Structure 1
Amino acid sequence: MREDDVLRGVAARVAAGDYSDDVLIRPGDLDANGNWTLSPAPEGTRWLVVRGSQEHLAALAADAVDPLPPLEPASVQAVDDAERVLGQPLPPLLRRIYLEVANGGFGPVLGVAGGCTDDLGRTAIDLLSPRQPAGLLPIGYWGCAIYSYVDCLGRGATMWGFDPNSGLGDHSFYAEGMSLVDWLDGWLRGSLEQPHLAPDPASG
């Protein structure tokens, strides 16, 4: 998929307020026909369901899904500052998304200054560390200290995973075998997964 197609796809999802992988719905049940029937619950009670699940789609059809707040793009200053701290230009597609669409907040995507953060309030730039490989920017947060990084050193904007829970020590960073375009396209298609290593069938 071309970069312009991905940019348009992300922009459309953000504009439609359909950008979160986890959705808050009003409590209820699926009836025999797959319709969402609301259940009595205390005021303000919501259930968290996965976007695209049967429950989400049925609740959406029943107008039982809480609308998401609009996302705002990053400022030019924030993006320029991010590139200065990183010491590299951002991949053109990522720069355009930050400036034209949203400062993170869609799917697992982190923002730069003033944008979406991880659960400890850190933006992609706050997470940069001299202990990390040069030129890698953390742009996706999955929980449990697991992140997706994009290589900004001009090698095709390839994606890297980081999982400190893997027990691999210095090898906690590993190439995911996809580009930023592939990664974002996977999110648009609902097939993007958090970084994970599969054991070698021969050695385990």
Structure 2
Amino acid sequence: MQSVLTDQPAGEPRATLLLAHGAGAPMDSPFMTQLAAALSAQGIKVVRFEFPYMAARRDDGRKRPPNPMPMLEQCMREQAAGVSGRLFLGGKSMGARVASQLAAEVGAAGFICFGYPFHPPGKPERTRIEHLQQIGCPGLIVQGTRDPFGKPDEVAAYPLDPALQLHWLESGEHDFRPLKSSGLTQQALIEEAADVAAAFIAAAER
């Protein structure tokens, strides 16, 4: 398996999204693969990569905890340096946290979080929002309404930067899986997330 996966759109890409995985699943997990395909169908070039601990797991099959945040940031920083053209940083969960912390620093045109870990499940007092109170570039968070890492009523009370955009996926869990009773599908919510992300990128380019 190569260390980077690139999903190219059919025509000239409108931008490149550097997309980081979450803490527990690799860059080619079903969620990441479906999301990248939906984004590339919107004309976005998607570059997926793996943090060092996940790359090591791929080599020997042994599960490891995520690297310390400074190492995760440096890894994404190095990946961003290799991308030419208009760049957006993005990620799933932990990867979203890294992307949102680095986007302004690396000169990205914006960041997109697919399921942001506002707090650990069951521990709403341990928030991870300090850097989201004043963002240095356009930002979008796409979140399921049933996400245990941050639900609408919790997030509404946070002092987030008014410029930070939030889009809620009805009935979605952390991986955008909806309740069967909703009549929705995970694929439909992933495609909705890609639609919103594409509109955000188009607006950020103006």
Q: TM-score range by the shorter chain?
A: under 0.3
TM-score by length of 2: 0.26
Q: Which has the larger radius of gyration?
A: 1
Higher relative contact order (CA 8 A, sep 6+): 2
